[in-house]
Amino acid sequence: MRIALFITCIGDAVMPEVGKATVAVLERLGHEVVFPEDQTCCGQMHLNSGYPQEAERLADRFVRVFDGFDTIVSPSSSCVGTVRELRPELHGRLFELSELLVGRLGVTDVGASFPHRVTYHPTCHSLRVTRVGDAPLRLLDAVAGLERIELDRAFECCGFGGTFAVKNADTSTAMVDDKVAAIVASGAEVCTAIDGSCLMQIGGRLARENAPVRTMHLAEILAQTAAA
């Protein structure tokens, strides 16, 4: 299948490894990945910060850039949710990665191997906006050697919330502190999720606290193979 990749602004500038992993997984499954180079941002930050006109322009831009592609994938559930809310006509064309793999392509075993203890943080937008269901868990459970550990109070927000993390930094930190405590208590070596921005929040606090847990995007785990 020919799949257009929406990398997202943060994915492009700050965490390109997530995009590379997404490409690796899809190509390993025999799909053709194309990258419309004119793409920039979904408009979520503007929409959620009180700048709807700017967000609308970016949503228009998204539709234009991805015109002609039947299947679009992004490794960010909150960006997918935002674009689908702003442009409902993209339902059925635009997918978050785990949605695409499990829901559309019917794959759970992507041939990955990752012999580590992993806990999954279900991000708020993946639960309540994009509604990916258990797709990420099914993918993780099919990874060779991976031991998945349940996260206490998993449903609770990590405190990122876009500009909330800066505007209400103290509250945001109080929230991530509880999240980080639950992650550390789980005994996992890796905390994974399907939103890079939430992982930035969790990972940033884990690193500051010198906690023995690292964050990895789901795509990065799925890209790991026994040979690598």
Provide, rounded to whole angstroms, the least separation between the CB of residue 1 and other proteins.
19
Provide, rounded to whole angstroms, the least separation between the CB of residue 144 and other proteins.
27
Helix pair 169-186, 196-208: axis angle to 10 deg: 80
Please list the residues that pair with 81 across neighbouring strands.
Answer: none
By CB under 8 A, is residue 24 in contact with other proteins? Answer: no
Among the listed residues 32, 145, 171, 226, the single contact to other proteins using CB under 8 A: 171
Rank residues 84 and 125 by Cβ distance to other proteins and give the closer one.
125
Query: Quick one: 227 exposed, middle or buried, by C-beta within 10 A (0-12, 13-18, 19+)?
Result: exposed
Query: Quick one: 133 exposed, middle or buried, by C-beta within 10 A (0-12, 13-18, 19+)?
Result: middle
- The whole-angstrom separation of Cα 66 and Cα 93 is 10
By CB under 8 A, is residue 115 in contact with other proteins? Answer: no
Among the listed residues 40, 70, 212, 226, the single contact to other proteins using CB under 8 A: 40
Q: What are the residues binding other proteins (CB under 8 A)?
A: 7, 9, 11-17, 19-20, 35, 37-41, 43, 45-52, 54, 57-58, 61, 124-125, 127-129, 155-157, 159-176, 200-201, 203-205, 207-208
